[in-house]
Amino acid sequence: MTTNGDRRAEVEAGLARVRERVEAGCAAAGRSPSEICLVVVTKTHPASDVVLLADLGVTDVGENRDQEASGKHAECVGAGVTGLRWHFIGQLQTNKARSVARYADVVHSVDRPHLVAALSKAAHQAGREVECLVQVSLDGDTSRGGCLLDDLEEVASGVVAADALVLRGVMAVAPLGVDPYRAFAVLPSLRDRLLTLDPRAGLVSAGMSGDLEAAIACGATHLRVGSAVLGARPPLG
Ligand SMILES: *Cc1c(COP(=O)(O)O)cnc(C)c1O
């Protein structure tokens, strides 16, 4: 059993290590760390960790399951933590869109026209504007989420047409067993395709604990990092 003080020191050290990696990755890529937003992925970790992160200066957190995220968001607001930006990064069923649109500032996993329609309606009903990234499947295996590269404009133009949604960019996960530098190399061209649809669509969400340097080298603006900051996740029950 760790005490609160131990946990704070652990999370602070994890954050410092990741920030050092981001700085080194930016130096190697000739980029500035100010171009990078670190989204700390808090899935499976308690709301108390989110409160800690906010206190340590983290501004953006990511969650991948609606039920967990909505409860944690409410707990954080109850604890007075209201300034965080919440990123929804997991595969999203249309029947969860209503809930997600109530607390998510950014949805990274928009990957099909049906979901665009559901999110648009939900954001409108919630009286909120939700920023959307179109998730692409870099290896064409859409069962793990993401649209085919050929379908990027179809999904993205639906977001552009929806008045409660804003197209902000592209999101990808490196396929298993592939060199992430190779997999992510296509990202700048995808970003450029989206920028022709909306000048605000230049964000690139890529890079996790294991491949954040490759993502930085390939133009990522948003890293989604969980275990390197918070430690190993307990196995899903
Ligand atoms: C869990 C998750 C992450 C973070 O993974 P780590 O390896 O813990 O950094 C990033 N992106 C998505 C989509 C995730 O589900």
Strand partners, 128: none
Q: Which atom of ligand 1 is nearest to the CA of 43?
A: 1
Whether 173 is in the pocket of ligand 1, judged by its Cβ within 6 Å, is yes
pTM for this predicted structure? 0.97
Three-state SS across 168-218?
EEEEECCCCCCCHHHHHCCHHHHHHHHHCCCCCCCEEECCCCCCHHHHHHC
Q: Which atom of ligand 1 is nearest to the CA of 145?
A: 13
Q: Which of 21, 208, 223, 229 has most ligand 1 atoms within 8 Å of its beta carbon, as the pocket-test mutant? A: 208
Report the pLDDT averaged over residues 190-215: 98
φ, ψ for residue 230, nearest 5 deg: -100, -5
pLDDT in tens, 93-134: 999 999 999 999 999 999 999 999 999 999 999 999 999 999
pLDDT in tens, 137-176: 999 999 999 999 999 999 999 999 999 999 999 999 999 9
pLDDT in tens, 47-87: 999 999 999 999 999 999 999 999 999 999 999 999 999 99
**235 has pLDDT over 90:** no
pLDDT at position 233:
83
Q: Average pLDDT, whole number, for the chain?
A: 96
* Atom 6 in ligand 1: residue holding the nearest Cα: 226
Whether 45 is in the pocket of ligand 1, judged by its Cβ within 6 Å, is no
Report the pLDDT averaged over residues 201-225: 98
Q: Which of 224, 225, 229, 236 has most ligand 1 atoms within 8 Å of its beta carbon, as the pocket-test mutant? A: 224
In angstroms, the CA 150 to CA 87 distance is 25
- Counting every residue, how long is the chain? 237
